[in-house]
Amino acid sequence: MDYYFIGDVELLTAFRFIGIDGAAVINAETARAAFEGITRGWDETAQAVLPSAYAAGGAGCRVLILTEEAADWLGDVLTNWQLSGKYPLAVEIPGTMGRLPGRKTLVDSIREAVGVHV
């Protein structure tokens, strides 16, 4: 399974240390360009994104890791992609400045879906 990261340059550096490539973004325009660059190569047969960087290896990007800020910049573009059911799956993580106000944690979302609070 191949991963790709879109977010701030500090986290991109950290992800590169563990072997995950990505794009540093600083505003909505650069976030959209990075997102469109990674999702443009959707291959129906492989059920994965195969941009030129991945096509040679035949792997394919299956998980897209985004900071919450980058996800906010993408807005409806990201929501529509997630609802399409195509890969890569988008996973949001807090940025270097921490969780954005008003965002639920994964645990909060699960508790809300299950309806059990312990």
Share the mean pLDDT of the chain: 79
Q: pLDDT band for position 8 (50/70/90)?
A: very high
Report the pLDDT value the prediction gives residue 67, as an integer from 0 to 100. 92
Model pTM above 0.75:
no
CA atoms within 13 A on the CB side of 103: 15
CA atoms within 13 A on the CB side of 85: 1
Tokens of 104: 């639920």
Report the pLDDT value the prediction gives residue 70, as an integer from 0 to 100. 94
Q: Pairing state of beta strands 48-49 and 42-43?
A: antiparallel
pLDDT greater at residue 96 or residue 66: 66
Report the pLDDT value the prediction gives residue 46, as an integer from 0 to 100. 53
pLDDT tens digit sequence for 74-104:
999 999 998 888 888 898 888 777 666 676 6
**Cα 66 to Cα 46, 89, 115, distances in angstroms:** 23, 10, 27
Q: In DSSP terms, which residues pair with 90 in a beta bridge? A: 64
Q: pLDDT band for position 64 (50/70/90)?
A: very high
Tokens of 9: 């340059």
End-to-end CA distance of the chain: 34
CATH number of 2-114: 3.40.50.10580
Distance in angstroms (rounded) separating the CA atoms of residues 96 and 110: 24
**Cα 78 to Cα 11, 45, 68, distances in angstroms:** 20, 22, 11
pLDDT tens digit sequence for 22-57:
999 999 999 999 998 888 765 555 555 555 444 434
Report the pLDDT value the prediction gives residue 1, as an integer from 0 to 100. 46
